[in-house]
Structure 1
Amino acid sequence: MVVNQDDLGAVGHEAYMLRDRLSRDGDHARPATFDAAIALTNGNFTSGSELLKVHDRWNSQLRTLLDACARISDHLDYSKSVHAEDDADIGGNLLSVSKISEYFK
């Protein structure tokens, strides 16, 4: 598989942007859902505890998505950095004089 630095950077950037949007927009309904669940529970409605489960599950799944996006972004940033260092090392080694080149003088 061949991946260039621009591809890694683009995917990492998109993961970062998705995490940013999810952290900003993925939580809009949570406070109202929690308040409704508490109000229903206090009103002796059995749906209150079920709505609280929905709230908790949403919160858990949102955190999982945020963590996954952060891991993808961080991993690609790390991979990009390590591969750039590897490329520099390989390029430096190829350009340096080796023992083999001494035989072709």
Structure 2
Amino acid sequence: MSFEEEWGQLKAAAAMRLNSAGDSGGSAPAKGSADYVVSDDELGDIGHAAFELFNGLESTGKHAKVASETAGTGLKSEGFDTGAAFTEVTGTWETQVKTLLQACAHISNHLDYTKASKKADDEWIETQLRIVGPVAPEADGAVPASQISKYFQ
């Protein structure tokens, strides 16, 4: 099987999994709903996993760098073409590790920002609903549910 065929099969399998993600229950919204609901705990867990991957990869992804560079340089100085190839592979590996580190940091930082932004938005909406219009005394300062929809039109 060629790389392209295997890659195509993997992409098709991933697309099927993504398309059926809401079918198994869980916290996914009802079919036909355009909303995607993610709890703060889920955002925190995903961000934490990205942060842990970043920390682990930063040290383990580079553990063989010095030995690999030394071997590549030594082989190259002895006239072996393998040395130059080994040095090139080491450089490519280092570039890929750096790219993955940047991606993990971006995911972690973005989810931290999203969580904080969502909380700030929720607090702003809550404040706006508390200060708008006449409020029923039994509502504890909040806008009654029957009145909320008129503020979102």
If the length of structure 1 is used for normalisation, what is the TM-score? 0.90
User: Does 2:43 match 1:4?
Assistant: no
31, 47, 51: which one aligns with 1:16? 51
How big is the shift at 1:100?
9.2
Q: Superposition RMSD on alpha carbons, in Å?
A: 1.5
Paired with 1:35 and 1:8, the residues of 2 have a C-alpha distance of 42
SS in 2 for 1:3: coil
List per-residue Cα deviations over 1:56-95 (Å, max 9, x = no partner): 0000000000000000000000000000000001111222
- Partner of 2:102: helix, strand, or coil? helix
Write out aligned runs for 1:69-80 (5 A). 69-80=104-115
Distance 2:102 2:132 in 1: 46
Give the Å deviation of 1:96: 2.2
Counterpart of 2:21 in structure 1 is none
1:1-105 equivalent positions in 2, closer than 5 A: 1-98=36-133
Q: 2:133, 2:44 → 1: CA distance? A: 34
What 5-or-longer segments of structure 1 have no aligned partner? none
TM-score by length of 2: 0.63
1:25 shift after superposition: 1.0
Superposition deviation, residue 24 in structure 1? 1.4
Q: Which residue of 1 aligns with 2:4?
A: none
TM superposition outliers: structure 1 runs of 4+ over 3 Å: none
Query: What is the CA–CA distance in structure 1 between the aligned matches of 2:60 and 2:82, rounded to whole Å?
Result: 26
Measured in 1, the distance between the counterparts of 2:105 and 2:129 equals 36
User: Identical aligned pairs, as a percentage?
Assistant: 39
